[in-house]
Amino acid sequence: MIRQFQLVETVKAYDPGADEDALNRAYVFSMKAHGSQERASGDPYFSHPLEVANILTKMKLDGASIITALLHDTVEDTDATLEQIEHLFGKEVARLVDGVTKLSRIELQSDHSKHAENFRKLVLAMSEDIRVLLVKLADRLHNMQTLDHIRDMEKRKRIARETLEIYAPLAERIGMHQMKDELENLAFAQLHQEARDSIVQRLTFLRESGQPRADRIIAELKRTLKEEGVEAAVSGREKTPYSIWRKMQRKNVPFEQLSDIMAFRIAVDSVPDCYRALGVLHSAYSMVPGRFKDFISTPKPNGYQSLHTGVIGPEKQRIEIQIRTPEMHEVADFGVAAHWRYKQGAGAGPVESANETGVGGVLLKLIVSRGFINERARDGKEMMTT
């Protein structure tokens, strides 16, 4: 469990303008409010909001988001009131905490398993400040990380299904692929444990027996690019167990017949370098028909950008390659949070109003502009349909 000073130092490192006093007061307030409450694991309940805050620091969210994470369960689960929170931490934090509380309530009340897509629309519509949704996703992620401590197997499976049907797609919709992958794999372990364990064992075997080949492919790709004047970082990345299982189900093939268990990622400094690297690779190796996709000139709706291609590469191996800049890579992992950081710059100072001009407003405008939620839904006029 991260300590108080560690949390504050982490936030201040990427956002020097964050309110250190407010962060410390929120930490103490939440710890006292939750008092002797315990999680299913037997850990102090306060460990949960603290870990949710820690997850959000990895996205480098602003101080108000971190404070909201620390306080997000206080109104729902303790004697604390919104009036107290507004008095102690201001209107912005009170509004964010209220938003998370409302999402938690509709989560408990809705039979959303039958209407997963409509429920996702409702969650987006209620997240007028998109930071509310980011806190909720971090809340769900930590709950999934600790789900094994719940003894009721049916309850665990219900939560895992909710995660697969609602929260992982929401994370993907706003471009947060790293969170999507983790949510999917945690849910997969609960719902299909034997299949997941089998895939993990096979991946481990391939990693141990095939690593020299992967290293040789990386070295040759890097050498091929360098000979043509393209400086690049080259790495290999395994597909996730859940994505492998989905592909096995979709194609109705066993694990052994999948040829794209590992993808290779090439990182270059600029967009022109992405296309230069692509040209070098297509000149050096035979391209696999139908595998080239240009998500730089035409980004995905969630903002994802990269060049994808497949080639018969080093050692006559069919390989998948992604080419992108470091900025594209961060956006691929952290979605709208990364978009905001690149637009605003870290440490932009405190946010006066998140409705339209602040952090949440910038993120929300990105969501609206990319079609994830329309203005009617944002105004509450288009919620759930039957």
Which sequence positions are flagged as catalytic?
76-77
Beta strand pairing call for 233-238 and 286-287? unpaired
How many whole angstroms from its chain centre is CA 196? 21
Conformation bin of residue 199: beta by default, left when phi > 0, alpha when psi is -120 to 50: alpha
How many whole angstroms from its chain centre is CA 336? 10
Distance CA 115, CA 123 (A): 12
For residue 181 the two structure tokens come to 């992958």
Quote the crossing angle between the two packed helices 271-284 and 193-227, to the nearest 10°: 90
Element holding 54 (H helix, E strand) = helix 47-58
Rounded to whole angstroms, what are the CA distances from 138 to 24, 185, 257, 271?
20, 15, 36, 32
Rounded to whole angstroms, what are the CA distances from 146 to 45, 48, 276, 279, 352?
12, 9, 45, 46, 35
Distance CA 25, CA 161 (A): 36
How many whole angstroms from its chain centre is CA 34? 27
When computed from its CA atoms, the radius of gyration of the chain, rounded to whole angstroms, is 22
For residue 87 the two structure tokens come to 């008095």
Q: Using the structure block, give the residue that is written with the tokens 């079609």.
A: 371
- State residue 286 phi and psi, 5-degree precision: -75, 130
Rounded to whole angstroms, what are the CA distances from 321 to 22, 73, 86, 261, 281?
45, 43, 50, 12, 10
Closest CA to 127 of 384, 353, 352, 380: 380
Distance CA 376, CA 232 (A): 45
